[in-house]
Amino acid sequence: MSGTTAEGGSGYSLRGRQGHVIEALGRAIVGGTYAPGELLPREAELTDEYGVSRTSVREAMKVLAAKGLVDIRPKVGTRVRPRELWSSFDSDLLMWTHAEGMATELMRDLVELRQIVEPNAARLAASRSTMHDLGRIERAAVGLAEAADDHAAYTEHDVEFHLAVYAASHNTFLSRFGTLVADFMKLSFDLQQEATALSLEEDAARHLAVLEAITRGDSEGASERMLQVVLDGKLALIAALRDQEI
């Protein structure tokens, strides 16, 4: 999964010249061409470089500012902000980071965060899920079992399974967290499947075990089984990332 989607994380279209400017500058910032604290080229230089109007450059800068990448100061210029101020969960930033070959640390951080959060989401889901929630989780789990020989479909069902568990926790912040990290999960799941250590049939069975525990109302069991799912994925992800670095 590289490049960007047709619709960016800020709701704008990445098609056309303006989208090209947004992606090019975004990747240049993420990739380190423009370091934190550095001023970007002046508006006139960018219009010449990308062959776009001043309006397009200004709108592109607004999008990058909304993502936390830059700070626009009249009569001073546009300066790259420190990395810790960037919108970490923005899907475009993830894709640009991956496209620049710099996603390893980000993916490891994500799986560590999931290791902390998801078992607790499963614990809450076991005590709070409705019939609608259980149906959604079950459809995703069954989809995983049926798509063990189709990596693309498997990833889609995998993301949906975890989103369904987050939603079944009936905790506003956990549900929101799930939607924020959906693109991150998709990328990490794609990478995990590249690791031969991950058997999709066995992985699907472990997801079904999470569903069974949630359905029984077994909070501790659901938490333990979800932790196992995340840890197995973590090992596969580390293996896939290590292979990429060789």
158 and 59 share one domain: no
Closest CA to 162 of 226, 233, 113: 226
In which domain, by residue range, is 167 found? 103-245
Task: Quote the distance between the C-alpha of residue 162 and its chain's center.
Answer: 13
Burial level of 137, CB count in 10 A (0-12/13-18/19+)? buried
**CB within 8 Å of 224: residues ≥ 6 apart:** 119, 213
Residue 140 included in any domain: yes
Q: Can you state the percent helix, strand and coil of the chain, rounding each to 5?
A: 70, 5, 25
pLDDT score for 244 = 65
CATH number at residue 64: 1.10.10.10
CATH number at residue 170: 1.20.120.530
pLDDT score for 195 = 63
114 and 211 share one domain: yes
135 and 219 share one domain: yes
Number of domains in the chain: 2
pLDDT score for 11 = 47
218 and 175 share one domain: yes
Distance between CA atoms of residues 159 and 145, nearest Å = 14
pLDDT score for 79 = 97
73 and 114 share one domain: no
Residue 3 included in any domain: no
Distance between CA atoms of residues 213 and 235, nearest Å = 23
- Average pLDDT, 10 consecutive residues per value, the chain (246 residues): 42 68 95 96 94 93 96 94 92 87 83 94 98 98 94 94 98 94 88 72 95 98 97 86 66
Residue 10 included in any domain: no
pLDDT score for 106 = 82
**Which of 85, 113, 138 is at the close of a domain?**
85
pLDDT score for 15 = 58
pLDDT score for 7 = 47
